[in-house]
Structure 1
Amino acid sequence: MSSLALAVRDSGTMLRRNLLHARRYPSMTLNLLLTPVILLLLFVYIFGDTMSAGMGDGADRSAYIAYLVPGLLLMTIGSTTIGTAVSVSMDMTEGIIARFRTMSIHRGSVLVGHVVGSVLQCVLSVALVGAVAVAIGFRSSGATVLEWLAAFGLTMLFAFALTWIAVGMGLVGPNPEAASNNAMPLIFLPLISSAFVPVDSMPGWFQPIAEYQPFTPANETLRGLLLGTEIGNNGWIALAWCLALTVLGYRWSRAKFDSEPKH
């Protein structure tokens, strides 16, 4: 069997292991799935009327739902990947990785299993939040099938990139609690992006912080695809961020993982 076939086989085995692990610890999975839904309902029904007032004349709660949902879908990805950091840290601290290293398996399959499993969880989370958003009134403004596919592709690229960053955070965390804290920027950054309010409504000194980060161009691209707003250069910028974060996360994770002593 070729080395590629072995890598695919072992990665599939690790993926099944991670999915079974998630099923055995449903509390973490449910927490990661329900938190974005709670945020969606909170911002729509508690803050919706107030937040929509800052969007211009004639804006109402339905307009704010349309604005909020694309950004919250990306925030959902950020919150879901925190579970990846915790899961990787648990593997590193509980000794299972040392045991894997004594076995004849592809060395990178452990990380690949975590990444693919996390991306699948992101798909489930985004689908759940999207379904709830549609149920409470979100509607796309005439997006074509191609635009829907592009929006799905962007969310998956973003999930892939953030998952590799989360894997690195899990590897450097001395314990699962520290890994969870390391990954908190993946939730904090969306809060200071254009996910909840337009950048131009923020204080002038704060606007560059919100604008020059990965979530804002991704938010605006997703809104453009689903709502027909202007995308401009945001699409290319979002793709560049996805590529840069993927490369950074992958190289960081592999370097840290390979530097661990072999047993």
Structure 2
Amino acid sequence: MKILCVIPARYASTRLPGKPLADINGKPMIQRVYERACLAKTPAQVLVAADDERVFDAVRKCGGQAMMTAKDHATGTDRLAEVAKKYTDMDIIINVQGDEPLIEPQIIDALAAAFIEDPELNMATIKTPIEDAEKENPNNVKVVTDRNGYALYFSRSLMPYPRVDTGVPVYKHIGIYAYRRDFLLKYAVMESTPLEKTESLEQLRALENGYKIKVLETNFKFVGVDTQEDLLKVNEIYKALENV
């Protein structure tokens, strides 16, 4: 089974223009993500899907692999599908966000293992216990699963709502996905669905069409970069890691 790890990198960002090239302790963020992803053991290849030559050049300059993709993709899944169409020899496509410079390589390997263990699996993602301060923030997507670890629903709202305190934990969804290549190509051309549009959560399209999404649990803490404050926080973490 051949696994391709793809890092979609969109240059334009409302809150952080040129985000993939933002400096993190001396290296552009996209290089940090790429180097972390390359530490995973299972992918046959790690590739950045760029929409801007500046990002493409930054990856190639550090010795990484990159592919130029269309600038006008509506979603990250569309960009991922463009790559998947070209890499016909790959079985599994793992999507690592380009703004996750602290991505844990073990997460990539865990997602890959899920497909090796279950030949029928089409799609998988990650959840982690949510901090109390994050629960009411609609930017932190929540997920509930069944007893077998398959997603029941994703929402920007708090769920489950604790009308009765039974001790059921709240989980935050981490936007790292893995797909069987054939399913990804089919999923990318499905029409948007009502719940997907309402929540602005693309993964709901799969659930609304009757497909299962396996959700693996991890205790790793993720620090994605969406704001200048996030960028400063990640810089401090890298400084602590590399200046020891």
Same fold (TM over 0.5): no
Q: Which has the higher helix share?
A: 1
Higher RCO (CA < 8 A, seq sep 6+):
1
Greater Rg, structure 1 or structure 2? Answer: 1
Higher strand share: 2
Provide the TM-score with structure 2 as the length reference: 0.30
